[in-house]
Chains A and B, each alone.
Chain A
């Protein structure tokens, strides 16, 4: 297994690089940089790329809605170039609280948009003239769909370092995980339980793998996990407990909380309901 780490977006860029260099000395192989409604991840990824030589880099994640697919492809190609081929494009749909709340964009069709965004990125990286007539994205935008009719199918000016930049998708929902197994090199599942993953996602993974192109290779499951060597102190336990409560209890509306739904699929329906009731009542 590869050893990686999510870098806190609250820290300064210089401090982050100093820590990454220290982590590299003891075996760190990958850093992943999140992007919620923080500083953008791209700036920090570029900064880290310029200050390091070996560690792999990944976005965790860039939101599908907040950039056009072509800009996402351009950005990934640029980060892969500046890092010397060390970048993995982490993508995710995020959720309506951020997408509609912060970006003011309707959170519709996350599956379809993710699928098309990945298709478009790969076309751009292969330097194909971008001619995409999808359900959610159309390039060029024709008169028929509200454009001026002057758009042309353009290909990326630069030659990407790699035409097959790896893609990793954050997903928890059943259909989304099926999509990941079908089209993505990597999967970023939050709260992956090794002994219950088959129970939660087994059918979705099997359905996706049945349609998977063998050239994508084996799915790289990239698991985020907190750890402590030795008996954890009450403070450590409280930190983990509070994080779980935030996600299972308060992340998303009551009937749109993907983490709560996952806890239920793991068999913790009663506990998940109690956590959500307590969290939403202000406890």
Chain B
């Protein structure tokens, strides 16, 4: 949880720990919001070195 910089750091920690698949649960109120959150996370994942 947190802003995009915080999420980038957490994603990098997961990757460094050997995580290869994230099974995510977006904490958002509506289905449309959940889809939007997943899209934003996909974008951050694509940026994770």
Contact = CB atoms under 8 A, between A and B. Distances in A.
A259 B9 CA distance: 25
A26 interface: yes
Main secondary structure, interface of B, reads helix
Interface in B22-49: 22-28, 31, 34-43, 45-46, 48
B7 A229 contact: yes
Interface in B10-26: 10-11, 13-26
Given A1-B15, A22-B35, A23-B35, A227 B21 contact: no
A236 interface: yes
Interface of B: 1-4, 7, 10-11, 13-28, 31, 34-43, 45-46, 48
Contacts, number: 134
B23 A224 contact: yes
Contact of B17 (A23, A194, A222): A194
Nearest 4 pairs of A and B residues by beta carbon: A27-B42, A26-B39, A194-B17, A222-B21
Nearest to A186: B21
Contacts of B19: 1, 192, 194, 221-223
A63 B5 CA distance: 38
A4 B22 contact: yes
Given A1-B21, A194-B17, A219-B18, A228 B27 contact: yes
B42 A26 contact: yes
A272 B48 CA distance: 33
B24 A195 contact: no
